[in-house]
Amino acid sequence: MKAPQNRKVFVIGYGAATPLGRTFAQTWERAVRGEAGFRKVTRCKVESVCDVVGEIPDWDPRANDFVDEKEAYNWNASFVILTMAVCREALTHAGLPMNDETAPRTACLIGSAINGVDAFRTAMVNFQERGPLKISPYLLPNLCANLPSGKAGILLGFTGPVFSPQGACASGNHAIGIGARMIRDGDCDFVLAGGVDAPILPEIIHGFNNMNATVKVLPGDRAFTDPAQASRPFSLDRRGFVLSEGAGVIVLAAEEMLARHGLTARAEVMGVGWTSDAYHFTSPNRETIIRAIREAIADAGFNPADIGYINTHGTSTQKGDLAEIDCLRAVFGPQLAKIPLSSNKSQIGHTLGAAAAIEGALTIEGMRRGIILPTINHRPDPRFDDIDCVPDTARRQPHELALSNAFGFGGTNCCIIFRGA
């Protein structure tokens, strides 16, 4: 194999669809205002107290100008068309045209946690109620993890590698990390890296309910009358995460491509740290999480004291939040009290495979604007007296170096260091 070229890697654009908005701009605007995007589930009917979810407002795949009725019918795994829309937004934001020079050197890496499970659900209903001849010939492609990237390539014209890093809730960071390595080594010049998930389905909602992972909104809970308060990371009364749908894509570019194509650097990918727990499929292993954080900082060539902001995984679970803060204490020591940290999941919920990419984009935009997004719905927990979680209100505070954490089912951890450009 050829020797790596050790090229610097920059972020030049991003796109997102979240419970706060169908675009990144809408998401950012509402996030700065301290809003949350939660409501009682409308996508399906469930018999569950975990019925507060995050749905992309006004999302209809047929509303996209590249989708007609036939396309929407055939590609009924929601993560396919959602990825196509957000990839197009990200390329537009980056100002990167696909042409004979750029297209062959552009890759697309989109991870997911549950892939096209909604298409499989539709197929099973058709099989049971109408017979085997009513199974769509598009079923198997709809289930393929790489199809969102592939369909985005068909729409947008890039012909570099397309595949799906499968890292559960850390998939987006895995995509960014692998994409950055591919550019660094010279395998491509540009990468669309991110994640997507569309989990608002009865079986998924009930499954997380039975795992005691998602918030149960019972009478007396403050979210019972105000669903916006359902996700509350680092709060005394946190009771689980809010299940959400979404997609996030970050466009990466090699340094020398910026001037050649008139592109704007928005941040630099400085370091990546990734580990696995070898412990339990959901319970975290503090030792390996600590190692991932330390390796990301070391890979970036910095010290813990250099970090100006931490975008936490912050799911709003009792054990998860405590474990993450314990790990940060181990890495940063007393210095942690001076570093603002926050959880975007307080506003958008847990978008599973999309979470890390969405949160990475929000982190980068925050560095560009000198704004730290808040952890909303906060009620102090004495166990977190030593942290600054930027409660309830966005803060104007310049910062140049950010750590973004992502931890996934199966014990997969990926942490990334971004530096403002």
At residue 345, the pLDDT reads 98
278 and 207 inside one domain: no
278 and 256 inside one domain: no
Is 389 one of the catalytic residues? no
Among residues 239, 261, 283, the one where a domain terminates is: 261
Instruction: Calculate the average pLDDT of the chain.
Output: 97
Structural domain containing residue 374: 270-420
249 and 303 inside one domain: no
The neighbour count for residue 52, using CB atoms within 10 Å, is 26
Residue 416's beta-bridge partner residues? Answer: 272, 404
Query: What average pLDDT does this structure show over 300-314?
Result: 98
At residue 303, the pLDDT reads 98
Query: What average pLDDT does this structure show over 267-282?
Result: 94
At residue 4, the pLDDT reads 81
> What tens digit of pLDDT does each residue of 79-130 get?
999 999 999 999 999 999 999 999 999 999 999 999 999 999 999 999 999 9
At residue 28, the pLDDT reads 98
134 and 214 inside one domain: yes
Is 350 one of the catalytic residues? yes
Longest CA span, the chain:
64
- Only one residue has tokens 């505070």, namely 397
User: What is the number of structural domains in the chain?
Assistant: 2
* Beta-sheet pairing, 190-197 with 412-420: unpaired
Q: Is 0.95 topped by the overall pTM? A: yes
At residue 284, the pLDDT reads 86
CATH of the domain at 406: 3.40.47.10
Q: Which listed residue (93, 261, 313, 378) is catalytic?
A: 313
Among residues 261, 288, 312, the one where a domain terminates is: 261
Is 169 one of the catalytic residues? yes
Q: Which listed residue (93, 174, 350, 378) is catalytic?
A: 350
pLDDT at 210 over 90: yes
Q: Which listed residue (169, 389, 414, 415) is catalytic?
A: 169
343 and 372 inside one domain: yes
b/e per residue 163-194 (b: at least 16 CB within 10 A): bbbbbbbbbbbbbbbbbbebbbeebbbbbbbb
180 and 291 inside one domain: no
Dihedral of CA atoms 172, 175, 178, 182 in degrees, nearest 10, equals -140
> What tens digit of pLDDT does each residue of 363-379 get?
999 999 999 999 999 99
